[in-house]
Structure 1
């Protein structure tokens, strides 16, 4: 079982529910967990270990390439939207020191004559690894599909039409981000692998949280380690969904801490999928989440792309 009190759920209880009552019970159970934690583990998700392992193998192969080769896939001025972002750039909001990581961004493949083409760049694929595109985008699509199931559950929990979120994310500027945290040098290092932060997007699906380091901040202000089982995908609420739901679902602060001792000399890899709204979708408070006890916290609506750009500037990617 996962460490700490953050729960893990079998999504098959929803996708293969034997009755409307059992499906409704699962919706309430998962909804309650997100209202309390903003985080949950999801197992029996249907993404095979072979798919995940193949993706990690090709991502590790990319990060093992020489720096000068990797930097050919860095697109200066793009805000890291696609391609490679080198070590030493991303910095958590409010942090003094940059995160100890490098990463790659795979986005949604859209027609270049799409109305979103001006804000959703074309993907960049490493020529040195021809299988990177096929394997990486397969994982993108698998996580996108799983995200749609989670969003259907959450929409139902909020009393909305089941496809409320899904139809607003069908062309979303979602990102698959393979991350490499290199070995940490000996001595005092003020940086951490990922400073405490909240995610920008709607929901995040994290593949590879079985490595130690992820910690989630509880409502009491305590840091709770969340080292999931290998077959579990960690799914958390992002700031866009927190805003849409007037904080009914909290976007919980989390971080990736540096390991101790010999473990610090080993690299760490993880792959979050940041599921985003369509760029022109409104990130305005849902009327059903406004109550006398929870008045609207955000009177002004903003589009998903406007909100994304504000936040990218805060973390020094733009």
Structure 2
């Protein structure tokens, strides 16, 4: 499986980017507009935050979907039996935000959200007319003014050797949303599954930005854009003793946007969330 690494600055970047999404469900960007130093700052700050007891003051309350999720209430992938080996914090513009860290993650939310809108414009312009005709509106307009786009700050803790057999940092799954933006993490592990069932490492050098298709775009395009199964593998060797921080931004359409004849976006999201144990309705 050949996930393309595309220089954001080159004239044919939109065509190459969208072709990689079409063929693999994934693409990787270099020289994109998100400063690496801001990502590294977020990694440093949030590693400290997850290592403190302060995180528990922001625990998700069951009424909304924002705040801290401990490993005890982490997700179980659709069809899986073991909880993922991770803890995370959900950031929305309207939600909880820790006083113990700087606003850097909020700034990243805005910057990455703007880039996500631009990448949806690339997909719009490169999509064949017969597929575009399936969209209820241009993809880039589906997200305008939406308060439900989610920034998840993830920490995969060091492995202790006592993990449940078969448990992974993130078990095989597909994302729910339109597209996901993910800066290269501070440790490797992201893998994508091809049509033969084989797993392949996704390029993850610092400075790269991974983008993948979610189920909503697959639904809206009647499968033209594939939502590809991926996972985060447990590390071996010295990597087992290291935490891994990850910053996926899940670009969501507004709830009232029609994805297909079967689904509005809000209905689709609610159905999928109920399939993830430990995650409540928004």
Q: TM-score, normalised by structure 1?
A: 0.80
Conserved 8 A contact 1:210-1:227: no
Conserved 8 A contact 2:28-2:203: no
* Counterpart Cα distance in 2 of 1:44 and 1:203: 19
Work out whether 1:174 is the aligned partner of 2:149: yes
String of CA shifts for 1:154-199, please: whole Å, max 9, x gaps: 11111459x9112210123111111001111125642110000000
Question: Which of 177, 187, 203 is the matching residue for 1:211?
Answer: 187
Larger Rg: 1
String of CA shifts for 1:49-86, please: whole Å, max 9, x gaps: 121112212221221111xx32221122136x211111
Conserved 8 A contact 2:124-2:140: no
Give 1:38-53 correspondences, 5 Å limit.
38-53=25-40
Q: Any idea what SS the aligned residue of 1:241 has?
A: helix
Aligned equivalent of 1:306 = 267
Aligned equivalent of 1:185 = 160
Aligned equivalent of 1:65 = 52
Tell me how far 1:88 sits from its aligned partner: 2.7
Aligned equivalent of 2:255 = 279
String of CA shifts for 1:227-280, please: whole Å, max 9, x gaps: 422111000000000000111110000000111133212111111110000121
Work out whether 1:127 is the aligned partner of 2:111: no
Tell me how far 1:311 sits from its aligned partner: 0.8
CA RMSD of aligned residues (A): 1.8
Question: Which of 259, 267, 270 is the matching residue for 2:235?
Answer: 259
Q: Any idea what SS the aligned residue of 2:117 has?
A: helix
Question: Which of 127, 136, 150 is the matching residue for 2:105?
Answer: 136
Give 1:232-247 correspondences, 5 Å limit.
232-247=208-223
Question: Unpaired segments of 5 or more residues in structure 2?
Answer: none
Q: Any idea what SS the aligned residue of 2:78 has?
A: coil
Q: Any idea what SS the aligned residue of 1:100 has?
A: coil
String of CA shifts for 1:113-151, please: whole Å, max 9, x gaps: xxxxxxxxx31022333x2xx211100011111111110
May I ask how many residue pairs the two structures share in their alignment?
270
Question: Unpaired segments of 5 or more residues in structure 1?
Answer: 18-24, 110-121, 285-299
